[in-house]
């Protein structure tokens, strides 16, 4: 193998390594995004589970007292959902509120 050929081979290898490194970088970015999404979904899931537990215990109380549903209960549920930290507006419904109060939700509640 002459020196020129050796040099060419090394250059090609360098190119391949460069593109592999770029691939690795983009995979790493995707992984970060997935980890963030996973974190967000885990939080959401925990909140939903808490709500489900509360709903179940409320349901049990309702059964004991034989209470009939009152008008406005739907509104109360939405208001509670909002104060538990979820969006109830059309735009982000069911998503966790990470940024504090949401103007869309508030205007919906004040209707
Ligand atoms: Zn909202």
Q: Could you tell me which of 41, 47, 104 has the C-alpha nearest to residue 80? A: 47
pLDDT at 49: 86
Pair 7, 61 in one domain: yes
Verify that 40 and 89 share a domain, yes or no: no
Q: Residue 68 pLDDT more than 70?
A: no
Of 4-8, 28-32, 66-70, 78-82, which gets the smallest average pLDDT?
66-70
**Based on the structure, what is the number of domains in the chain?**
2
Assess whether 8 and 58 both reside in one domain: yes
Domain that holds residue 9: 1-66
- The mean of the pLDDT values for the chain is 86
55 closest CA partner among 19, 33, 63: 63
pLDDT at 66: 54
Q: Would you say residue 99 has pLDDT above 90?
A: no
The reply to whether 14 and 54 lie within a common domain is yes
- Looking at the structure, tell me whether residues 86 and 56 fall in a common domain: no
What are the φ/ψ torsions at residue 86 (nearest 5 degrees)?
-110, 155
Distance 94 CA to ligand 1 centre (A): 9
- The answer on 26 and 61 residing in a single domain is yes
Q: Are residues 55 and 94 in the same domain?
A: no
In the Cβ-directed half-sphere of 3, how many Cα atoms lie within 13 Å? 0
Same domain, 9 and 56: yes
Residues 46 and 80 in one domain: no
Neighbours of ion ligand 1 (CB under 5 A): 87, 89, 92, 102, 104-105
- How far does the centroid of ligand 1 lie from the alpha carbon of residue 47, in Å? 16
């Amino acid at each position: 193998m002459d020196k020129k050929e050796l040099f060419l081979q090394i250059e090609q290898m360098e190119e391949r390594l460069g593109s592999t490194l770029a691939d690795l970088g983009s995979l790493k970015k995707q992984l970060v995004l997935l980890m963030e999404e996973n974190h967000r979904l885990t939080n959401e899931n925990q909140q939903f589970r808490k709500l489900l537990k509360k709903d179940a215990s409320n349901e049990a109380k309702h059964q004991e007292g034989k209470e009939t549903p009152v008008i406005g209960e739907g509104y109360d549920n939405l208001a509670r959902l909002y104060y538990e930290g979820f969006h109830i507006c059309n735009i982000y419904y069911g998503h966790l509120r990470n940024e504090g109060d949401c103007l869309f939700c508030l205007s919906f509640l004040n209707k």
